[in-house]
Chain A
């Protein structure tokens, strides 16, 4: 049987960054997954957010990036082994809105565990795509929150490992959605303002002729 492609999960930065444990990878060729505090098992994720940093690291061959969503930011490294992501990253300005498909990883050093991403592809995108991502990620997160009270094995494992405070994440989702609401409302009013100013402009022209 052919190897199944890993699904790119939707997760907010805050939940992702609180991840400390891996599962899988024990048998040969079995992929390694991150386990988040809400019981999401992910090997690949899809993010749409603001590219805030793109810096060379000491090793020069590796770029360090930071992509922010309404809840926090994802730390990422793009190396020479990801030529597609590296090439496209070169053409993207900071800050801009980007869509990233990435492998989810954990950096374990000196008893400190840091989650990060390794982008496979990164492209400049628009606010519409970002808004939809926030919406979709909010839904996926709420679904996981709901499962935390069930007999779901991953949920039980997450509770045991993290002692997750579910309320905290529920607030995170609500905040993200409220921000999104404010934002769309702002952009709608500016559009109206824009129409108004065009109207004034036209009136002005009429005065001249």
Chain B
């Protein structure tokens, strides 16, 4: 009996995304084994083939099961339906395109190898990436598109989850002028000019501490919005301190100057949600590296 339920479970795993019921699978398996006295292995194969024909599922899609991004496991071959969120400039001749894809369960990186000879994908379009392999790099899951893979554009809108976590490090090469202690509209949080919101006109404003900028590691850039918490852990400045500094100098602009002085051009490591092409950094720290150790490592590599 155990053997039968394990066969049923295995088949169910393969077909559950196609709306096949477990009870239906069990009925078919039991019929073959008990009524027709077919060997277990034969029963398994027959049921799979039958379901495949009935639900028009190709052999490949069983071998490369459709998988949600949050369930990707390194080393597995899968198919993924996802939206291309961001493309980065290729920095190596072996890479045709790379960037970030997302679905309703999260986000992952992807790489299309130059050798795969695939048609180029575009930002904000949705695709079915078939027969791709998953690996992990620096804590981030990455989907590789090789020559056996297939990419098909699909005509459906994928809602990308806001829960996708991403980690990044690089130099903060730019800080937006809309950063610092700024006045925003109470209802939509847009920056106001002389109390005028671009959306709501004359409004009541509130003061918030904001930091938006660009993190750049020499290969790609990330737009980053830092949470107040992240700003505080980097600079010690929170909203209350920012207000105090501004009132002491009778100038809100001084907060932006201070943030620039402390953070512009500094190497940071951040982590947070990736959404709408921006990382919402929940936490941030200055990048710390043992320089002599790293130098030894590189010199050893070049044979010195």
Chain A contacts to B: CB under 8 angstroms: 1, 4-5, 7-10, 46, 48, 88, 98-101, 120-121, 123-125, 129, 131-133, 135-136, 138-140, 142, 147, 150-155, 170, 173-174, 177-178, 180-181, 184-185, 188
Q: Are A7 and B89 in contact (CB under 8 A)?
A: yes
B46: which A residues are within 8 A, CB to CB? none
Known: A8-B218, A46-B216, A123-B260. A180 touches B291 (CB 8 A): yes
Q: Are A101 and B174 in contact (CB under 8 A)?
A: yes
Q: Are A48 and B265 in contact (CB under 8 A)?
A: yes
Q: Are A1 and B260 in contact (CB under 8 A)?
A: no
* Bound complex: CA A177 to CA B264 (Å): 25
- Mark each residue of chain B from 105 to 129: 1 if its CB lies under 8 Å from any CB of chain A, else 0: 0000000000000000011000000
- B267 contacts partner chain A, Cβ-Cβ < 8 Å: yes
- Mark each residue of chain B from 270 to 304: 1 if its CB lies under 8 Å from any CB of chain A, else 0: 00000000000000000101011011101101101
A10: which B residues are within 8 A, CB to CB? 218
Known: A7-B220, A132-B289. A138 touches B93 (CB 8 A): no
B89: which A residues are within 8 A, CB to CB? 4, 7
- Per the CB 8 Å criterion, the residue count for chain B at the interface is 33
* Bound complex: CA A132 to CA B173 (Å): 15
* Bound complex: CA A100 to CA B216 (Å): 13
Known: A99-B265, A123-B260. A8 touches B216 (CB 8 A): yes
What would 25 A/B residue contacts be, using CB atoms closer than 8 Å?
A4-B89, A7-B220, A8-B216, A8-B221, A9-B218, A46-B171, A48-B265, A88-B260, A98-B265, A99-B266, A120-B174, A121-B265, A123-B261, A123-B264, A132-B291, A135-B289, A139-B298, A142-B298, A173-B302, A177-B295, A177-B299, A178-B304, A181-B292, A184-B295, A188-B292
* Bound complex: CA A155 to CA B91 (Å): 12
* Bound complex: CA A8 to CA B287 (Å): 18
Distance of B231 from chain A, by nearest CB (Å): 17
Q: Are A125 and B265 in contact (CB under 8 A)?
A: yes
- Mark each residue of chain B from 82 to 98: 1 if its CB lies under 8 Å from any CB of chain A, else 0: 00000101001100000
B302: which A residues are within 8 A, CB to CB? 142, 170, 173-174
Q: Are A5 and B266 in contact (CB under 8 A)?
A: no
Distance of B134 from chain A, by nearest CB (Å): 25
Which secondary structure dominates chain A's binding surface? helix
- B219 contacts partner chain A, Cβ-Cβ < 8 Å: yes
* Bound complex: CA A123 to CA B266 (Å): 10
Q: Are A131 and B291 in contact (CB under 8 A)?
A: yes
B265: which A residues are within 8 A, CB to CB? 46, 48, 98-101, 121, 123, 125, 129
* Bound complex: CA A120 to CA B216 (Å): 15
Query: Residue of B at shortest CB range from A173?
Result: B302
Q: Are A132 and B287 in contact (CB under 8 A)?
A: yes
Q: With A7-B89, A133-B171, A181-B292 given, can you name 6 additional A-B contacts, CB distance below 8 Å? A: A7-B216, A48-B265, A99-B266, A129-B265, A132-B267, A174-B304
B301: which A residues are within 8 A, CB to CB? 142
Known: A5-B214, A8-B171, A184-B292. A174 touches B299 (CB 8 A): yes
Distance of B63 from chain A, by nearest CB (Å): 33
- Mark each residue of chain B from 216 to 227: 1 if its CB lies under 8 Å from any CB of chain A, else 0: 101111000000
Q: Are A121 and B93 in contact (CB under 8 A)?
A: no
Distance of A191 from chain B, by nearest CB (Å): 13
A9: which B residues are within 8 A, CB to CB? 218
A140: which B residues are within 8 A, CB to CB? 218
B287: which A residues are within 8 A, CB to CB? 132
